């Protein structure tokens, strides 16, 4: 450190400037508080990751919201007013998420439709709940979110503890597996799905020979796969994300493992096939229906592709429905008071969404969550099997 004239840093003038800067920053932050919005739009908040590694998913969800809002506004809006979407970046991080939620509350949103990472959705939910604003989740599958006892939370997507038993049933009844290995990536979502699946498998009498986590970001999972191979499971189910799934299936085939490999709904991205190449062929994935496989969503897929230059990701259509069902609730309630909107949302039981008929159970979960299995063929996903009303497995057309 340089000692300048007797060690006082620069001159008192600079210290004064620094004092002033500190004060100015505090005031600037205070001034950021937006004034009360006396607008004639109905504001719906969309908290999604717009920076960081989940930015692509967040943007995709926001795009779905934008399409829904555009459609509603083109038809005259709700209660005579236009819908205004207010996106905020939650960066998939709890601290940023809380601040994003608070910002939306201050901005005067009457309802919120969005969310991606469960770790961000939970703190957001607390903030919205405190303000009484209903939150319709489109992609967060963690059961915890609707177990808090809040009456202001809703989901258009299913829960991990519904997907788990679904996957287990598939492995037991469709694949006729006697032994299974379940691998997760030690994150909230993945571990939750894995645990639900393991519990369901055990209940169905399937022997779970391996149930451990891998560390994402590592690239080489051969040692884990070697260990799993030595235990000889009939099927491997990976509940993490598509990036690691691609590596896992490629390395597994390289090691000579022949059993069926499956993935949870976070593996349904084409990067899987690009990474694994021919090794991915035949991999089966449990997922909420993708827009491309929903009979009612063809127009949506076309419109999305035309507007944004690429196909929709897995969650945007659920966001599309989330915004739609929120608008319906506002219309039903004939009010823009958040409490009334929440009450109206609870009353909805047959909203015709693109993802199917939407209704909410008392906890706010989707009463008829549907899952399907899809299979990798070449570099495309194709619909595979689903359960009919009695629980039997049938091929999809």
Partner 1 sequence: MSTFLQFVVEGLTIGSFYALVALGYTMVYGIIRLINFAHGDLFMVGAFVGWTALGTLAAARLPLALALVVAFAASMLATGALGVAIARVAYQPLLRAPRLSILITALGISLLLENGVLIAYGAGFRTYPHLLTQTGFDVLQVHITFAQVGIVAASFALMLGLYLFVHHTFIGTAMRALAIDQDAARLMGIDVERLIQLTFFIGSALAAVAGVMEGLFYTQINFFMGFVLGLRAFTAAVLGGIGNIPGAMVGGFLIGLLEAFGAGYVSSQWTDVFVFGVLIAVLVVKPTGLFGERVVERM
Partner 2 sequence: MRAQASRASGRTQTSWLVAIVLLAAAIALPAFASGYVVDVGLTIITYAILGLGLNIVVGYAGLLDLGYAAFFAIGAYTTALLETLLHFSFWATLPFSIVFAGASGVVIGYPTLRLRSDYLAIVTLGFGEITRIVATNLDITGGPNGIYGIEPPSLFGFEISSPHAVYELGMAFFIVVLLFAVRLGRSRLGRAWTSIREDEAAAEAVGVATLRVKMLAYVMGALIGGLAGSLFAARFGTIDPTAFTYLQSVTILIIVVMGGRGSIPGVILGAVIVAGLPELLRFLNLWRIFGFAVALVALMLLRPQGLWPARIRRAAPRPEEEKRAHEAEAAEAQGKESAPAVAIADSGAIDAVAARETLMQVSNLERRFGGVRAIGGISFEVRSGEILALIGPNGAGKTTVFNCLTGVIRPTGGQIRWRGEPLGAGAPHRNVHRGIARTFQGIRLFNHMSAFENVLIGMDHRLHTPFVAELVGTRAARSEAAEHAALGQRWLDLVGIGARASEYASDLPYGDQRRLEIARALASQPRLLLLDEPAAGMNPTEKHALMAQIRRIRDLGVTVLLIEHDMALVMGVSDRIIVMDHGEIIAEGAPAQIQNDPVVIDAYLGTAEEDDGPDATDGEKSLWS
Give, in degrees to the nearest 5, the angle at Cα 256 between 250 and 258: 85
Is residue 256 at the binding interface for partner 1, with CB under 8 A as the rule?
A: yes
CA–CA gap between residue 197 and residue 318 (Å, rounded): 23
| Closest CB to partner 1 among residues 54, 355 | 54
Q: Which stretch binds partner 1 (CB under 8 A): 24-32, 106-114, 194-202, 215-223?
A: 215-223
Structure tokens at 268: 């349904």
| Closest CB to partner 2 among residues 18, 255 | 18
144 binds, among partner 2, partner 1, none (CB under 5 to 8 A by kind): partner 2
Is residue 231 at the binding interface for partner 2, with CB under 8 A as the rule?
A: no
Structure tokens at 95: 């601290």
Residue 141 has, within 13 A of its CA and on its CB side, a CA count of: 29
CA–CA gap between residue 238 and residue 98 (Å, rounded): 31
Is residue 94 at the binding interface for partner 2, with CB under 8 A as the rule?
A: yes
Q: Which stretch binds partner 2 (CB under 8 A): 142-150, 233-241, 297-305, 366-374?
A: 142-150
Beta carbons of 253 and 204 less than 8 angstroms apart: no
CA–CA gap between residue 147 and residue 219 (Å, rounded): 35
- Binding characters for partner 2, 37-76, by CB under 8 A (x = yes): -------------xxx--x---------------------
* DSSP letter assigned to residue 185: -
| Closest CB to partner 1 among residues 380, 394 | 380
* DSSP letter assigned to residue 170: I
Is residue 89 at the binding interface for partner 2, with CB under 8 A as the rule?
A: yes
Spell out the residues 6+ positions from residue 368 whose beta carbon is closer than 8 angstroms to its own: 356, 357, 359
CB atoms closer than 10 angstroms to residue 323: 27
Is residue 32 at the binding interface for partner 2, with CB under 8 A as the rule?
A: yes
Query: Position of tokens 């926001």?
Result: 62
Q: Which stretch binds partner 2 (CB under 8 A): 187-195, 257-265, 301-309, 349-357?
A: 187-195
Q: Which residues pair with 237 in a beta bridge?
A: 182, 262
In the region spanning residues 211 to 230, those forming contacts with partner 2, defined by CB under 8 A, are: 213
219 binds, among partner 1, partner 2, none (CB under 5 to 8 A by kind): partner 1
Q: Which of 5, 11, 13, 15 binds partner 2 (CB under 8 A)?
A: 15
Q: Which of 73, 82, 102, 222 binds partner 2 (CB under 8 A)?
A: 102
Q: Which of 226, 305, 349, 350 binds partner 1 (CB under 8 A)?
A: 226
* DSSP letter assigned to residue 36: P
| Closest CB to partner 1 among residues 212, 394 | 212
Is residue 205 at the binding interface for partner 2, with CB under 8 A as the rule?
A: no
Q: Give the nearest distance from C-beta 239 to partner 2 in angstroms.
A: 12
Beta carbons of 287 and 222 less than 8 angstroms apart: no
Beta carbons of 277 and 303 less than 8 angstroms apart: no
CA–CA gap between residue 75 and residue 61 (Å, rounded): 22
> Burial code of 286-320, b = ≥16 C-beta within 10 A, e = fewer?
bbbbbbbbbeebeebbeebeeebeeebbbbbbbbb
Q: Which residues bind partner 2 (CB under 8 A)?
A: 1-3, 6-9, 12, 15, 18-19, 21-23, 25-26, 28-30, 32-34, 50-52, 55, 88-89, 93-96, 98-99, 102-103, 105-106, 119, 122-123, 126, 130, 142, 144, 148, 186-188, 190-192, 213
Q: Which residues bind partner 1 (CB under 8 A)?
A: 1, 52-56, 186, 212-215, 217-224, 226-227, 230, 243, 246-247, 250, 253-256, 271, 274-277
């Amino acid at each position: 450190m340089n000692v300048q004239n007797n060690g006082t840093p620069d001159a008192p003038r600079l210290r004064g400037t620094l004092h002033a800067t500190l004060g100015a920053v505090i005031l600037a932050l205070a001034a950021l508080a937006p004034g009360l919005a006396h607008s004639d739009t109905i504001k719906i908040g969309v908290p999604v990751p717009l920076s960081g590694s989940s930015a692509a998913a967040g943007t995709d969800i926001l795009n779905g919201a934008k399409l829904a809002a555009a459609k509603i506004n083109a038809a005259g809006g709700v209660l005579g007013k236009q819908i205004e979407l207010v996106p905020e970046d939650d960066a998939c991080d709890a601290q940023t998420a809380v601040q994003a939620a608070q910002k939306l509350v201050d901005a005067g949103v009457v309802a919120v439709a969005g969310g991606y990472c469960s770790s961000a959705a939970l703190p957001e939910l607390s903030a919205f709940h405190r303000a009484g604003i209903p939150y319709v989740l489109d992609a967060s599958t963690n059961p915890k979110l609707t177990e808090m006892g809040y009456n202001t939370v809703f989901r258009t997507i299913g829960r991990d503890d519904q997907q788990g038993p679904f996957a287990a049933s598939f492995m037991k009844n469709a694949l006729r597996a006697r032994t299974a290995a379940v691998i997760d990536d030690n994150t909230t979502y993945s571990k939750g799905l894995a645990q639900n699946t393991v519990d369901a498998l055990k209940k169905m009498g399937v022997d779970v020979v391996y149930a451990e986590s891998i560390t994402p970001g590592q690239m080489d999972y051969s040692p884990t796969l070697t260990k799993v191979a030595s235990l000889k499971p009939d099927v491997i189910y990976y509940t993490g994300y598509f990036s690691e799934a691609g590596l896992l299936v490629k390395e597994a085939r390289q090691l000579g493992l022949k059993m069926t490999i499956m993935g949870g709904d976070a593996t349904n991205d084409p990067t899987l096939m690009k990474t694994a190449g021919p090794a991915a062929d035949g991999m089966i994935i449990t997922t909420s229906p993708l827009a491309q496989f929903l009979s009612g969503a063809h127009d949506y897929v076309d419109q999305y592709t035309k507007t944004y230059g690429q196909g929709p990701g897995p969650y945007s259509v659920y966001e599309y429905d989330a915004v739609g069902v929120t608008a319906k609730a506002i219309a039903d309630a004939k009010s823009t008071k958040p409490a009334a909107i929440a009450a109206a949302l609870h009353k909805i039981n047959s909203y015709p969404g693109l993802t199917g008929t939407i209704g909410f159970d008392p906890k706010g979960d989707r009463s008829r969550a549907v899952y399907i299995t899809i299979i990798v063929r070449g570099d495309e996903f194709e619909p595979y099997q689903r359960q009919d009303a009695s629980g039997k497995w049938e091929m999809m057309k």
